[in-house]
Amino acid sequence: MVAVALGLFYLGALACIYRILLTYRTAQGAIAWIIGLLGLPYMAVPLFLLFGRHRFGGYVKARRMGDEALTDLLNRFEQQTTSISPGDRQRFTDELQVLCKLGRQPFTEGNRCTLLRDGEATFEALFEAMEDATRYILLEFYIVRSDRVGQRIKSILERKLAQGVEVWFLYDDIGSVWLSRSYLNQLSAAGARVASFGNGNIRRRRFQINFRNHRKLLVCDGKVGFVGGINLGDEYLGTAMDQEPWRDTHCRIEGPAVTGLQLTWLEDWNWASNQGPELDWAPENNAPGDDRVLMLPTGPADDGETCALFFLNCINNARTRVWISSPYFVPDLQIMNALQLAALRGVDVCILIPEKSDSRLINLAAYSYLVQACKTGIQIYRYQPGFMHQKVVLVDNRYAAVGTANLDNRSMRLNFEITAISTAPHFINSVESMLEEDLDSSRLMTESDYRERSILFRLSCRAVRLLAPLL
């Protein structure tokens, strides 16, 4: 009986290896899986079924099913008078044109992009925008809690539903695993359309624990949108007595770039539900500002590793500086090499990560990169006052990005993310000032932070780094 079971496991391992050889993206990851499948098939086969897939096949299928309508919307979006014309794009550098191709969306002009620092400013702006909505509200968040912030959101949504405003509520079932069923039921009873991203359309439902919708966005009436690192929970206010303060960043966008947010939300909703809302796609008659903004959605359903390519594009094209703020610093080989090359050619490479992390493993893994970074001039700072959760990139004085993508493998290859990129000088200056203040509250790490620790600590850091593809 044992021999039969073991034989079945090896047959399963061979099937998994066949799948790996047809679809792998990195040789290192493929070799690691193959060794595990051949050596410990009874452990590796179940793990591969949970974590081994690298493409979100169900979403790709859903994208194709809705591709004609979405392509038509995208074509109309690119043809809007607010989209930067091909002739005007000649003034853009190649790297910005690459970003347009990565996200399949255009840069638009006539926007107003406002930086929101921390939870209090963000929630105040979110509440105000929802209160002012007259037609519809689209929400999409990785984490939604039924705490004070969550209850305030639900109260506003129920009130707007009573006024005839449509509400479409999309959440990730793993990120929001502790969200009470009664919370969702009450929203549904009030008339909101509620869907979980993880389950997807029931006709193509699959158990896909690896692929999370890590996006955090809100759109009101197609005119005002929000995107950034802040989820819907009290921790972003830091009001709990026993809680470290959280440092995070969001941004508010008015103007035609909000159409890009809507397109991203609609594609995600197309996967999660059969219901389709009627949204406003008409361009703004009166531009609220003169900012040029691009929405860059990335994820495992894309043809390439769009999030990794975004970071590589930023790092490789930086001329004077590239500052990256991320709560998780677990770069792969190509990202680390790009950071080193940028530092060697004289670019100010600054990585800002938290001193106090919500993940012990990721905190340990970050130390393993320290010596390698310091030898080439990469500066790694650890933010001191609390847990820093923001995801921000600043490239020279040319553009700044605020979004949901971390500098780790999950964001690069496994999660659905979205980033707002602006070339507006006032927005760049705001991001620069914000990061300078954060750096003033941080300590610069040196090689001694790693070399002078115990051998057990250093071994732990190196061992955890082997798990980088899963962190």
Catalytically active residues, by annotation: 214, 216, 221, 389, 391, 396
Q: What is the DSSP string of 275-325?
A: -------PPPSS-S--EEEEEEEE-TTSSS-HHHHHHHHHHHH-SSEEEEE
d(CA 304, CA 75): 21
- Residue among 175, 147, 177, 154 at smallest CA distance from 239: 147
User: Cβ–Cβ contacts within 10 Å for residue 65, how many?
Assistant: 15
Pairing of strands 166-171, 387-388: unpaired
- Residue among 443, 467, 468, 465 at smallest CA distance from 367: 465
The answer for residues whose C-beta is within 8 angstroms of residue 401's C-beta and 6 or more apart is 296, 314, 392, 393, 394, 395, 419, 420, 421, 422
**DSSP state, residue 247:** E
- Residue among 111, 84, 309, 321 at smallest CA distance from 224: 111
- Residue among 251, 257, 378, 406 at smallest CA distance from 318: 378
| Distance separating the N- and C-terminal Cα atoms of the chain | 37
Q: How many helices (H) and strands (E) does the chain have?
A: 18, 17
| Contact between 423 and 399 (Cβ < 8 Å) | yes
The answer for residues whose C-beta is within 8 angstroms of residue 182's C-beta and 6 or more apart is 146
User: Cβ–Cβ contacts within 10 Å for residue 243, how many?
Assistant: 13
